[in-house]
Amino acid sequence: MARSNSSNAWLKEHVNDHYVHMAQKDGYRARAAYKLLEINEKDRLIQQGMWVADLGAAPGSWSQVAAKLVGGKGRVLALDLLEMAYIPGVDFIQGDFREDDVLQQYTSLLGDRQVDLVICDMAPNITGNAVTDQARSMYLCELALEFARDHLKPGGSFLVKTFQGYGYNEYIAAMRDTFATVLTRKPKASRDRSAEMYLLGKQKKE
């Protein structure tokens, strides 16, 4: 089956991508690792000994970064609909974040503990319909924010990937209700043509 022009362009861009080559060299599973590394360098989110929830973790590059930074006394709890190969220092639950039984299974890893940081790089399966895709994306973001409200300790931080479009401004307003500070981040590893924007909530309110 012949590839479309758009998929050929994506493949060429991917093969020639600086961050793809860096990921291969540095042992990260995806170029997305450098988005988290850059944001963390600027905002100092991840510290030794922290407990970190990684929502939408597969293939695992953010969990790789987080596990290295929290060290042996920290813990990373990862969740994704897709399978994810084992990463030392990471507990992984496979399932649909939107389903209550999967969420309960995931939160049981916490016991009675609240996490220090929630990171979320989730994105829906793309249909090609911009309105549908944006609605699905914002729904996942809303679920992630709800999780952060319930399981993030006071003073903790929340980093989430969003896409600018319908519901984006309302979502920022909802984050401001929960966090003392809300910042936008567009790391260099984000492709210029991408509408993705990372929102960072700091200092969760009590």
What sign for the dihedral angle of Cα 136, 95, 54, 32?
negative
Do the domain assignments include residue 14? no
Q: pLDDT tens digits for 18-72?
A: 888 888 888 788 889 999 999 999 999 999 999 999 999 999 999 999 999 999 9
Q: pLDDT tens digits for 157-181?
A: 999 999 988 999 999 999 999 999 9
CB 183 within 8 A of CB 162: no
Which strand (E) or helix (H) includes residue 102?
Answer: helix 100-107
The pLDDT-based confidence of 1 (bands split at 50, 70, 90) is: very low
**CATH number where 155 lies:** 3.40.50.150
Do the domain assignments include residue 149? yes
Is 68 annotated in the active site? no
Nearest to 200 by CA among 185, 178, 188, 190: 185
Do the domain assignments include residue 19? no
Q: In the chain, how many domains are there?
A: 1
Binding residues: 60, 62, 80, 96, 121
Binding residues for S-adenosyl-L-methionine: 60, 62, 80, 96, 121
Do the domain assignments include residue 127? yes
The domain containing residue 130 runs over which residues? 33-204
User: Omega of the bond prior to 59 within 30 degrees of 0, cis?
Assistant: yes
3-state secondary structure of 90: strand
What is the identity of the amino acid at 183?
L
Q: To which residue do tokens 């093969």 refer?
A: 15
The pLDDT-based confidence of 120 (bands split at 50, 70, 90) is: very high
The pLDDT-based confidence of 7 (bands split at 50, 70, 90) is: low
Active-site residue, selected from the candidate residues 42, 161, 204, 205: 161
Do the domain assignments include residue 16? no
Do the domain assignments include residue 78? yes
CB 199 within 8 A of CB 162: yes
**In the predicted structure, residue 17 carries a pLDDT above the cut 80:** no
Do the domain assignments include residue 25? no
User: Lowest-confidence range among 17-31, 103-117, 125-139?
Assistant: 17-31
Q: How distant, in Å, are the alpha carbons of 12, 24, 82, 85 from that of 117?
A: 36, 27, 22, 22
90-94: strand order across its sheet: 90-94, 75-80, 51-55, 115-120, 152-163, 196-204, 179-185
The pLDDT-based confidence of 9 (bands split at 50, 70, 90) is: low
Token pair in block for residue 139: 């729904």
Mean pLDDT of the chain: 90
The pLDDT-based confidence of 8 (bands split at 50, 70, 90) is: low
Do the domain assignments include residue 17? no
Which strand (E) or helix (H) includes residue 120?
Answer: strand 115-120
Q: In sequence order, what are the beta bridge partners of 200?
A: 159, 183
3-state secondary structure of 158: strand
State pTM to two decimals: 0.89
Q: pLDDT tens digits for 179-200?
A: 999 999 999 888 777 788 999 9
Nearest to 17 by CA among 186, 189, 195: 189
User: Lowest-confidence range among 50-54, 77-81, 134-138?
Assistant: 134-138
Token pair in block for residue 46: 């991840």
